[in-house]
Structure 1
Amino acid sequence: MMFMGEYSHTIDTKGRLIIPAKLREQLGDSCIMTKSLDNCLAIYTYEVFEAKATQLAAQSNGKASVRGLKRSIFANANELEFDKQGRILVPATLRNYAFLKKEAVVIGAGDHVEIWSREHWDAYSADMDANMEALTENMEGLIF
């Protein structure tokens, strides 16, 4: 399964966001949302989240960075429910983390879906576009 595409949506005053039908179908009935890198949110199928959670749980708690990552991921994980309009409720703590106000971007990111604020996504995208050659420099044999 591969999530692809970029979709613009708005978050209503109650914190609800539409997830595009194509992505909803791929996510299935049970999926998990949590914090991700670069101040965005990630939505995983239950199976992918479980596999990643198992890998993370296997890491030793001897390092502060590992303990911190476990706390951040698991404390902020939410099982999602879609309403009849295909919306999810994004908790206030996650909206704050991802700078989500009104305009949001929902993107397919391979094995998961990401939610970005429009402003943050535009800045991030522009930076990645400007550095495309540097990004692929160390990826031998991988050229798009």
Structure 2
Amino acid sequence: MLNADQAEQSLPQAANEADDMGLPPLLLGTYTPKVDDKGRLALPAKLRGQLGQGLVMARGQERCVYLLPQSEFRRVAVQIQRTSMGNKAAREYLRVFLSGAVEQKPDKQGRVLLPQMLRDYAHLSDDVVVIGVGTRAEIWDTKAWESYLESKEQGYSDIADDVLPEVEF
């Protein structure tokens, strides 16, 4: 079993191995940066390298903001676009998703501007939570995230067998 220091050191190695295998980055953890007066968010250092030099912010589900590496955003957008244009739900989803998407490049301090449109959509104040959710990160208003997490806690245990039937812990 790895101790905390060994686990910390193995994360960059695991990220490099994932890159070598052509896998998307694995974004993990919970972080509590602040949004400054200019609407900028300092990306958590552990996520910065995995998100890359450029990223895309978009409207997420449950009133959060998605942060995706550009390659992952492109993969998702292409997958949605492959859905039949005759599918009204797919057209509507694509319109909302892509119209709210913004490309960002972190500045030298690792900050990105949270566009007002996305701050309004997710009801973001200066107190936010950034969570890693596998191939994307999400930005939540702190109170909204705490409420969401509390409301889903029991369900998390209840649905484990349905969602993870093949995974053994």
TM-score (norm 1): 0.93
Distance across 1 between alignment mates of 2:40 and 2:142: 16
Q: 1:9 aligns with which of 18, 23, 33?
A: 33
Match of 2:114 in 1: 90
Match of 1:128 in 2: 152
Q: Does 1:102 align with 2:126?
A: yes
User: Structure 1 residues 122-131 or 132-141, which shifts more?
Assistant: 132-141
Match of 2:137 in 1: 113
Local SS of the residue matching 2:90: helix
1:74-124: per-residue Cα shift (whole Å, max 9, x none)?
Answer: 111111111122111011110011110120001110011111000110011
One-letter identity of the residue aligned with 2:65: L
Match of 2:96 in 1: 72
1:35-81: per-residue Cα shift (whole Å, max 9, x none)?
Answer: 11111111111111111111111112223321111111111111111
User: Structure 1 residues 16-25 or 133-142, which shifts more?
Assistant: 133-142
Match of 2:46 in 1: 22
Distance across 2 between alignment mates of 1:13 and 1:64: 40
Local SS of the residue matching 1:125: helix
- How many residue pairs match? The answer is 144
| Contact 1:136–1:143 (Cα < 8 Å) also in 2 | no
Match of 1:43 in 2: 67
User: Structure 1 residues 78-87 or 114-123, which shifts more?
Assistant: 78-87
One-letter identity of the residue aligned with 1:131: G
Deviation for aligned residue 1:143: 5.2
One-letter identity of the residue aligned with 1:104: V
Q: Give unpaired runs (5+ residues) of structure 2.
A: 1-24
| Aligned-residue RMSD, C-alpha | 1.3
Task: State the identity as a percent.
Answer: 34
TM-score (norm 2): 0.80
Greater C-alpha Rg? 2
Match of 2:6 in 1: none
User: Greater helix share, 1 or 2?
Assistant: 2
Match of 2:167 in 1: 142
Deviation for aligned residue 1:141: 2.8
Moved over 6 A (4+): none
Distance across 2 between alignment mates of 1:21 and 1:122: 22
Distance across 1 between alignment mates of 2:81 and 2:47: 27
